[in-house]
Amino acid sequence: MAGRGDPPEGTSEGLPGGGEDEYGAVVFDESFVRAARLQEYSARERTGPDARAVRTLPSPVLRARTGNTGAWVVMGLALLLAFSLATAIHIGLRRSPGDPAAAPRAEPLRMTVIPLAPSGAVPGGEPADLYHRSPAARHRIAAAGITLPAIRRTSAFTENEVRTALSVAKEYLVMSSLNPEVLTGGTVRPVRVLLDPAQLDAFDRDVGFRAGARKPSGGWLIRFDPARVALADPAVRVRGSLGYAESGADTLEITAGHTFTYALRPAAPPGPSRPPSALSAPVDPARTDPASLFVARRELRLRFDHEDILRHRTELVASHLQAGPQSCSESTGTLRPLLAGERASPGAPAGTDPYAATTAPAAGLCGALAPAAQPIPRSARQSTGQPSPPPG
């Protein structure tokens, strides 16, 4: 009777070993197949005249290494990309904000500075009394006069971004119009650090770091000739407004229009360590009316993009300044107000030829300071029977 593994007709008699299969204990499992060094060609591959029956395969270890080559290549490329990105970030952080290679080009500042000449002598008096007799009597003091509008998001800027841009614009106005060190020519850094790096070259060329620079700085900031005048009262009177709107794709533009009223007095006579300025005119230190008012109307347009807001800076696009009392002949880099009792120099400003090649006049425009913009004389109040407001 045949066994369980035998065919029905029994084992073949022709097999070696008397009918027992000598390979019966060999198991052709998956690991055995993968370890095989010989692989039989297919029937199609054996039809050629020079075809062989089998091919020799590489060792299993070599095949495993070859199979992982793609993974190693991908990992190497990823490491190379990460190293390149880290190097670019490192170089960007080390680059100075004022580096011309890092700063994009900015359009030139459109600047207009118009001196306003008085029709008669400049009124003088004590600062508090002058303020009470002028239209600035109801204006707020210093930064309190620069108020922010209602803040809402725009299509491209969040509410927080709009608030930050308005805060930077206010800070620029404070530093360029109210900072005593800037007003008296001691420094320009508080204004400079708020500007986009693309404008720093133009700012340095127009303003400079020296108090005696003879450039048209009135578009960037308010600066008086320190050899001629000094602040009689640091509490500058301010009134105006701020507005904002999108001016293009991802661009926010803020408009500012403010009137600044300063109380000035003659500068102290120069001491041994302070030589007189070549631009200064002789001022009588014994003048009975040592203070006078100087009014500056500033209208600015400031531009912001998302990076400017992130880095707390702005680009000054346009600046329009009307300031007086001054003489129309003044064309220096600093404002040179007329003080109490002084009059504008005779003579009209130089004419402008509209057919000339240049687009800007050689001499600045000049306007007339309206009498209503100056303190009302005491004699006028007494003649109308109106009591003068108490100082303070």
Distances (CA, A) of 133 to 137, 141, 290: 7, 16, 16
Q: Indicate the SS3 state at residue 67.
A: helix
**Number of Cβ within a 10 Å radius of residue 274:** 12
pLDDT, one tens digit per residue, over 53-98 is 666 655 555 455 555 566 777 787 888 888 878 776 766 555 444 4
* Angstrom distance (rounded) from CA 141 to CA 128: 12
| pLDDT at site 26 | 57
| pLDDT at site 391 | 38
Q: Indicate the SS3 state at residue 46.
A: helix
Tokens encoding 362: 């050689």
Tokens encoding 34: 């993968």
Q: Give the residue carrying structure tokens 């066994």.
A: 3
Distances (CA, A) of 153 to 63, 156, 167, 186, 246: 62, 8, 15, 39, 10
pTM score:
0.65
pLDDT, one tens digit per residue, over 274-289 is 444 333 334 444 444 5
| pLDDT at site 52 | 65
| pLDDT at site 247 | 86
In the chain (392 residues long), the average pLDDT of successive 10-residue segments reads: 52 51 58 60 65 61 55 77 75 50 65 89 93 94 96 95 97 97 92 95 80 65 90 94 91 97 86 40 48 96 96 96 85 79 72 47 68 79 47 38
Distances (CA, A) of 45 to 42, 57, 128: 5, 16, 110
Residue 266 burial (CB < 10 Å; 0-12/13-18/19+)?
buried
| pLDDT at site 6 | 53
Q: What angle (nearest 5°) sits at the alpha carbon of residue 57, between those of residues 53 and 58?
A: 160
**Bridge partner residues of 323 (DSSP):** 115, 296
Comparing C-alpha atoms, which of 369, 329, 325, 367 is closest to residue 343? 325
* Angstrom distance (rounded) from CA 246 to CA 106: 18
Helices 60-67 + 69-94 axis angle, to 10: 30
Reduce the secondary structure of 197-245 to three states and give it as a string. Answer: HHHHHHHHHHCCCCCCCCCCHHHCCCCECCCCEEEEEEEEEEEEEEEEE
Residue 336 burial (CB < 10 Å; 0-12/13-18/19+)?
buried
Domain boundaries, the chain: 110-269+285-346+362-384
Give the start-end residues of each E strand in the chain.
Answer: 38-40, 54-56, 110-117, 140-141, 229-248, 251-266, 292-304, 315-324, 367-368
* Angstrom distance (rounded) from CA 221 to CA 287: 29
* Angstrom distance (rounded) from CA 165 to CA 171: 10
Inter-residue contact 229 to 124 (CB < 8 Å)? no
| pLDDT at site 389 | 47
**Bridge partner residues of 38 (DSSP):** 56
